[in-house]
Amino acid sequence: MATEDRRGEPGFPIARYEFSQQTWASGATAATTEDISICGTIIAITVKINNNTGDATLTLALADADAAAIYSQAAIPENATTPYDAESSKSTPDANFNPIPVNGVITGTFTPSGDPSTSGMTADVVLYVR
């Protein structure tokens, strides 16, 4: 899937913004960054990480153009697609973060916890925006 923003059309209230797949080869541990431009409120984030032989997890951080830290989540597990939600109603699972207002470029920083070893590591991050 890819970025899709059809909020201008009736019946499509949620936009999906996807960073390109982040990859790390065996031995690579450096953080990667990517910019994305969004107008709206981030209400959910999903992070998919492959099953890597080094059992590396991911730290995801989002910052705006002024380097304001607007989101950070560490220890995102490998071998899973993990949803993080900003909305919660009574008696459901708690929200994971506060809704994030954005209007312009934000920077995603993707930091593996360590060497993913022979399999390498991939991370697919999707932002859901209202």
Partner 1 sequence: MTDRRREGPKFSMATYSFATQTFPAAASDALAPTLANINGTIVAMKIDISETEDNITYTVAITDANAASWFSEASLADKTVHWRDARSDKNPRDADFNPIPVATTLTCTITPSAAPDAAPVGTKTATVAVTIYLE
Q: Taking CB under 8 A as the criterion, which residues in 71-100 touch partner 1?
A: 86-90, 92, 94-100
List, as one string, the DSSP characters of the chain: ---B--TTSTT---EEEEPPPEEE-TT----EEEEEEEEEEEEEEEEEE---TT---EEEEEEETT--EEEEEEEEPSSEEEEEES---TTSPPPSS--EEEEEEEEEEEEESS--GGG-EEEEEEEEE-
Interacting residues with partner 1 between 8 and 27 (CB under 8 A): 8, 13, 15
Shortest distance (Å) from residue 24 CB to partner 1: 28
Closer residue to partner 1 in complex, CB, 55/85: 85
Q: With binding defined as CB under 8 A, does residue 55 bind partner 1?
A: no
Among 3, 7, 16, 117, binds partner 1 (CB under 8 A): 7
In the complex, the residues that contact partner 1 under the rule CB under 8 A are 5, 7-8, 13, 15, 39-41, 64, 66-70, 86-90, 92, 94-104, 130
